[in-house]
Amino acid sequence: MSATPQNNQDNQEIDLSQISKKIGDFFENISTSVFKVFLFFKRNILWVGILFVLGAALGFYMDKTTKLYDNQIIVAPNFGSADYLYAKVDLINSKIENSDTVFLRDVVGIKKTLNLKKISIQPIIDVYKFVENREKDNNFELLKLMAEDGDIKKIINDETTSKNYPFHEISFVTLNETTNQETVEPILKFLNDSKYYSVIQKQYIENIKIKMVENDSIISQINAILNTFSNTTNSSQKSDKLVYYNENSQLADVLKTKNDLVYEQGSRRLDLINLDKIIKDDSITLNIRNTKSVKGKMKLVLPVFFIALFVLAGFLKSYYRRQMAKLNS
């Protein structure tokens, strides 16, 4: 009966000793591998040095000659031209991807066609601007209604909703620095080249001017009414007669109407400034050095890459020799 516990104890000791031996072998193999790597670099120190210098020199040259820059144009599509704007930008980008330099030069007007590497557009999500527009008082209620069966954040970022935001960012990447004249002006001219929206723009501005003339006429009439009221009040005070005015008089409504019209006139004047283009450019930022990923870091990447290839080649060579030795034996 006592032999069984003794056997279990012996087995446990054997298992622990085997585990300890395997752990020791594991660390010994790591130590051996590290030493082999050290010997490899020692034997090939000349080649490693040459590859490092070569990679650093080539990397410096590439960083100096191959510079990518990010550029942004903030635009506001007028007259409901958001879909038209997105389609135009996508067209330019497709021509860039297909290396259609003829289209970019003759249609878009970009002379240095190889300088333009990519172009894209995305909305500037601003819910407050979306709902504060006096002509779109129902926008907020519309957003709440659309979000009743879903996530309000998804609705706000939805493509259909996002195209209705007032401002959008056109981003394009150029090889080396660019200027307004070289890139921005041709792109904006191409985006604003639309016969249909030009007619819409002309009629829209004409309607605003007619509305402003009518508003000025109504304001003049309100001023005349207020002057008449003021003169009547002054006459009553001079004649020492009491004059009673009903609280339900429409004077407050008249003043409110005048205030609204004055506010509207100011908004219309701003509209005339912002509606001078179909796609209105609000701000332009050029030549932001692109240092994402390995851009601008090739002087560090290439030496490591060349040395890694050299080590991989040495490993494959050693592996090949070992396998051939096994076959020959």
| Span 212-238, pLDDT tens digits | 999 888 888 888 887 877 666 655 555
| Residue 247, pLDDT score | 43
List CB contacts of 37: < 8 A, sequence separation 6 or more: none
Residue 79 φ/ψ region, left for φ over 0, alpha for ψ in the -120 to 50 degree band, beta for the rest: left
Q: Is the pTM of this model over 0.85?
A: no
Best-predicted range by mean pLDDT among 17-31, 46-60, 119-133, 226-240?
46-60
| Residue 204, pLDDT score | 92
pLDDT in tens, 280-309: 999 999 988 877 665 667 777 788 888 888
Which DSSP helix (H) or strand (E) runs through 247?
none
Judge whether residue 134 has pLDDT over 50.
Answer: no
Residue 270: φ, ψ to 5°: -65, -35
Please state, in angstroms and rounded to a whole number, the distance separating the CA atoms of residues 121 and 87: 10
What is the chain's mean pLDDT, rounded? 79
Both tokens of residue 217?
Answer: 């006429």
183 falls in which pLDDT band (50, 70, 90)?
very high
54 falls in which pLDDT band (50, 70, 90)?
confident
List CB contacts of 101: < 8 A, sequence separation 6 or more: 113, 114
pLDDT in tens, 303-328: 888 888 888 888 888 777 877 777 77
103 falls in which pLDDT band (50, 70, 90)?
very high
List CB contacts of 287: < 8 A, sequence separation 6 or more: 69, 71, 174, 177, 178
